[in-house]
Structure 1
Amino acid sequence: MLNTYSFPEFDYVQSEEQKNGVPARYPMVIIGAGPIGLIAALDCASRGIPVVVIDDNNTVSVGSRAVCYAKRPLEIW
């Protein structure tokens, strides 16, 4: 019998700023945790730039997140 893969789902976890009600400011906000978003976050972190990544999914990718890759992300990856 053929079984289909079930993608794991992760519960939402509040950040410390949300728990304490104290807003935090970040010089870099990245929207999307696809390959390019994650590489951009890693690149910023390696340069000492505080960054926050925002994504609307609570699971791993259910399909392709990138049609092609640019040179810089591949150099970092």
Structure 2
Amino acid sequence: MKARVTVTLKNGVLDPQGKAIQSALGGLGFDGVDSVRQGKVFDVELTTSDKAAAESELKAMCEKLLANTVIEDYSIDIT
């Protein structure tokens, strides 16, 4: 079973990397970019075929390692 975990900064958390990307895009001529928020994506392949077990395991992975839940949100998409 394959899953994609997307981790992004929570609203209200400063994102200096996103600001740098926004500025660089403007410098490259991409006008009209109001804001950029950066994040990270993890593609995880699991051996289980039980979707509920996979979701539970992925949530545990996010809580313990993949996301800093104080400042980051995460979403899980299982295929």
* TM-score, structure 2 as length reference: 0.26
> Which protein has greater RCO, CA pairs closer than 8 Å, 6+ apart?
2
* TM-score, structure 1 as length reference: 0.26
Q: Which has the higher helix share?
A: 2
Q: Which has the higher strand share?
A: 2
